[in-house]
Amino acid sequence: MKAYIFPGQGAQFVGMGKDLYENSAEAKELFEKANDILGFRITDLMFAGTDEDLKQTNVTQPAIFLHSVILAKVLGSDFKPDMVAGHSLGEFSALVAAGALSFEDGLRLVFARANAMQKACELQPSTMAAVLGLDDFTVEDICQRVSDVVVPANYNCPGQLVISGSIAGIDKACELLLAAGAKRALKLNVGGAFHSPLMESARVELESAILATEFKEPVCAVYQNIDAKPYKDVQSIKDNLVAQLTGSVKWTQTVQKMLEDGATSFTEVGPGNVLQGLVKKVNRAIETASAAV
């Protein structure tokens, strides 16, 4: 069974999507439609902006979404998913690619999500840190022992978690994690504590946008971040998307569940190849590839 996976924030690079735009009339039309919907030429920033431009959350998220979704559309009949999943933001790309959301509605939701997250970051300075070389239980236990807000945010692969919380909380947790034997506990250059309770204001804002958007049953099961389970039911998909903003991304568990359910290959659709590396950490023998047109 073919699994298609869609990357999240961090996969962006200057020049992303330019080949698609130049070599496919369908892609060019969709990129131009996106420029109109967003009210600014995101293509200029994607193709020829600076790294700094692309790091702004309200540019990064729609840029990665557009690269992923337009690539899936250009694949045409070659895109035949048996199952899909996306990492954080990538869940929106997966839902559009699987037909649960229209291109236009997906883009509007991603832009609303990015702006809501940006606002939440400005409300309270907060951050995230990557933790390498410890098991999940140890990281969870240490997070619970810190009095400030600190939670596991991304379960990326065995031995690699990202934690999220207040600056004081993350500093304290990193100190305890290194003392417990972590190979690294490194603060990330991000704008805020994504996938933590500190995103509550963004969750409330995104919930109204999701409730006002039409969703359809996807063509295949979508494995969602919040609990790593497959869904086709529209109401559950919407509820899980809302919960995702303050809940952790269970990527390790998602890949394990897709493998259990019969995935024989994983194709990454979008910029970069980070997710392929994470899949290989779960099962070295599984076939992975980047989508190409």
Positions marked active-site: 88, 195
What are the two backbone dihedrals, phi and then psi, of residue 10, each rounded to the nearest 5 degrees?
Answer: 115, -15
The contacts of residue 69 (CB under 8 Å, 6+ apart) are 30, 93, 96, 97, 103, 106
- DSSP readout, 260-288? HTT--EEEE-SSSSHHHHHHHHH-TTSEE
d(CA 228, CA 162): 17
The order of strands in the sheet holding 160-166 is: 150-157, 160-166, 126-132, 184-187
What are 93's two structure tokens? 């790309």
